[in-house]
Copies of this chain bind each other. A is one copy, B any other.
Amino acid sequence: MTTINKTVLSMGEMASGAKLTVPVYSIKGRGEGPSVYIQANMHGAEVQGNAVIYQLLELLKTLPVLGDITLVPYANPVGANHKNGEYTLGRFDPITGVNWNRMYHYNQAQITDFVDHLTNQPQAEIDQQFQQLLVGNIEQKLEHNQYGLTTGQRIAYQLQKMAHQADLVLDLHTGPISSKHLYCPEYAKASASYFDIEHTILIPDGFDGAMDEATFCPWWSLSKQLATKGIAYQLERESFTVELGSQELIDLDVAEQDARSILSYLQYKKVIDTSEFVPSNITRYGCYLKDYKAFYSPMGGMVDYLADFGQVLRAGQPLARILRMDNYGDGDALHYISLDHDVIPILHFASASVNQGTELYKVFSKYFELV
């Protein structure tokens, strides 16, 4: 029987002094496999990952665990608790507008410095020293400096400190109204086939503030700089953003399927010692980040979203039709929206009511079979 330890992190204080805390669950493996960090709900409305962590814990109870596993639901309680009307306004700090998943830290400059000072260590030693560098960086940020940290930095850095201590990182998100999809660094493409997710966005080595990038970019950059020096290095760290479907939903039954999909990946990585989990036999499609496009509404109006997710929408077929009753009788009350090339729609906006310029759909504008 697996032992689950629980600790609590302090993530913020509100005006009344109320403290917002985050539970951290950890499982000590047998010390043989890679370590894993899994968090959920960094964006307030994207709650399904909490249910997936629930099901992961329930399943892990009876599984043989090799590597250490840390699981953090409710990663951002400031976001999760920010109701705005009936819904949760959780993509950005409501005071500043800054996206909660764009506040992680990455200092590329110091990697060059690190590589310059390497002598002939074996990889295990390089890995350990580099990890210390990353963790130390974050600790220094977290130590109280005189001008302080923003609300989001305090949260992000505490999470990142834990994530840097793991070999594999999974950040559980959702889209607005969305199919399941995966953000995967290009070098880890082979791992995408172990998740029960049909659509994968392959991301390049660029840092835009997100957790996945903050944890894979340093190692990817390290491996590339070592390569230019002719030093052999096996890049084994991986980070993914797992998009579980739609926001504003909890479904514990679907969460169990998603937990099994994640365990299939962890089994492949030998974090758990089992052969119970078999990835689904589905065709998987990839798309490069530059080809993953947002379509912005050419007009204000009320939208009947027509295109199904995950299936090829042919050129000229409608993504959506937009109702403009103000034009009824003396103009066009219905506008059909389409593109001049085939795409695979992945997600659409959460509301029928849009301004001119609201993001209507996100689509794979170019795609290929992942093998």
Interface residue ranges, A against B (CB under 8 Å): 4, 6, 12-21, 23, 25, 44-45, 47, 50-51, 53-54, 57, 73-74, 77-78, 80-89, 91-99, 144, 146-154, 176, 248-252, 293-304, 321, 323-330, 333-334, 339-340, 349-359
On whether A248 and B353 interact (CB within 8 A), knowing A12-B300, A293-B147, the answer reads yes
Question: Known contacts A95-B358, A295-B148, A296-B148; is A23 also within 8 Å of B325 by CB?
Answer: yes
Look across to chain B and name the residue whose beta carbon is closest to the beta carbon of A152: B357
Q: What's the least CB distance linking A170 to chain B, in Å?
A: 16
Shortest Cβ distance from residue A296 to the other chain B in the assembled complex, whole angstroms = 3
Please indicate which of the listed interface residues A97, A149, A350 has the most CB atoms of chain B within 10 Å of its own CB: A97
CB of A302 within 8 A of CB of B50, answer yes
CA distance A325 to B17 in the complex (A): 8
Which residues of chain B are near A325, meaning CB under 8 Å?
17, 23, 50, 53-54, 73-74
**What is the CB-to-nearest-CB distance from A16 to chain B, in angstroms, rounded to a whole number?**
4
Cβ contact of A355, chosen from B15, B144, B298, cutoff 8 A: B15
Which residues does chain B contribute within 8 Å of A85, judged by CB atoms? 84, 87, 89, 91, 94-95
**Across the two chains, which residue of chain B brings its CB closest to A356?**
B13
Considering residues A98, A249, A333, A357, which has the most beta carbons from chain B within 10 angstroms of its beta carbon?
Answer: A357
Assembled-state Cα–Cα distance A259/B298 (Å): 28
Contact A94 B88 (CB under 8 A): no
Asked if A74 contacts B149 (CB within 8 A), the reply is no
Q: Are A352 and B6 in contact (CB under 8 A)?
A: no
The 8 Å CB contact of A77, one of B12, B16, B82, B83, is B16
Question: With contacts A88-B351, A326-B16 known, is A154 near B356, CB below 8 A?
Answer: yes
- Across the interface, name the chain B residue whose C-beta is closest to A44: B353
Q: A83-B355, A94-B85, A325-B23 are in contact. Are A17 and B47 (CB under 8 A)?
A: no
Please name all residues of chain B whose beta carbon is closer than 8 Å to the beta carbon of A351 when the two chains form the complex.
Answer: 45, 83, 86-88, 248
Q: Check if A353 sits within 8 Å of B74, measured CB to CB.
A: no
The answer to whether B86 and A50 touch across the interface, beta carbons within 8 angstroms, is: no
Residue in B82, B154, B250, B303 whose beta carbon sits within 8 Å of that of A352 in the complex = B250
Chain A to chain B: the 10 pairs with minimum beta-carbon distance, closest first? A13-B300, A151-B357, A92-B97, A148-B296, A15-B353, A17-B326, A97-B97, A13-B356, A73-B325, A85-B89
Q: Which residue of B lies closest to A294 (CB)?
A: B147
A98 and B97: CB pair below 8 A? yes
Contact status A16-B20, CB under 8 Å? yes
User: How near does chain B come to A103, taking the closest CB pair, in angstroms?
Assistant: 10
Q: Please, which residues of chain B bring their CB within 8 A of the CB of A293?
A: 147
Q: Which chain B residues lie closer than 8 Å to A12 at the CB level?
A: 300, 355-357
Closest Cβ of chain B: how far from A356's Cβ, in Å? 4
Task: Provide the residues of chain B in CB contact with A350, threshold 8 Å.
Answer: 86-87, 248
A15: contacting residue among B13, B86, B252, B300, CB under 8 A: B300
Closest to A341 in B: B146
